[in-house]
Amino acid sequence: MRVVLLGPPGAGKGTQAKRLAEGANVPHVASGDLFRKHQEEGTELGKTAKSYMEKGELVPDEVVIGMVLERIQAPDARAGYILDGFPRTLEQAKALDKALVKEGTRIDHVPLVEVNTAELVRRLGGRWICSQCQTPYHEESAPPKQPGVCDVCGGKLYQRPDDRSEAVRRRLEVYEEQTAPLVEYYARQGKLRRVNGQQEIDQVAIELLKAVAD
């Protein structure tokens, strides 16, 4: 089971990727985690990625793919893996397919967790974080007992600039621009499966398992 999990920011993709990986007993491979790991360990790939990020530039596809390929070649990924956060663009998807062909494997399933824009703005736009302990809150689903104050440590809550509604809408526009061709690419391959991400978390998880079981 080799899976690419797609979904916009705020769709709960990270949570579902972990649950799907646990249910299928395969590793959850998140591109963000790989970046942090390589930078913390000071690997050559990590140093290269950091040099671009420090200049505010996008990390080249070959560097990202190098990290991903190294991870999915590990012994625990022989039975499969759930890719989360990669590929993000059509170019990355094509490069990944090309690299996997050389390895004699391929991506089997591509579930797409769908949530409408209004719901995504509601979810992302209401997020607040403690300035001291980083505990997350949400204005509607997980509010603090006292407005603006962390329940855990009493620290002041703040909202990240990219969690404000206008910034959220722009993030979603960028996602659509990058991902629409990617969705079409996997649909043409017959691998795309659409899943309603506006249901209860457990129901979304059930539908994702069905999407990768056929």
Known catalytic residues? 13, 88, 127, 160, 171
The residue count for the chain: 214
* C-alpha to C-alpha distance for 147 and 96, rounded to whole angstroms: 46
Residues 138/163, Cβ–Cβ less than 8 Å: no
What is the residue whose two structure tokens read 């129901």?
A: 203
Q: Shortest CA distance to 36 belongs to which of 67, 80, 69?
A: 67
Map residue 109 onto helix, strand or coil.
Answer: strand
* C-alpha to C-alpha distance for 17 and 11, rounded to whole angstroms: 11
User: Positive or negative, the Cα torsion across 80, 86, 90, 93?
Assistant: negative
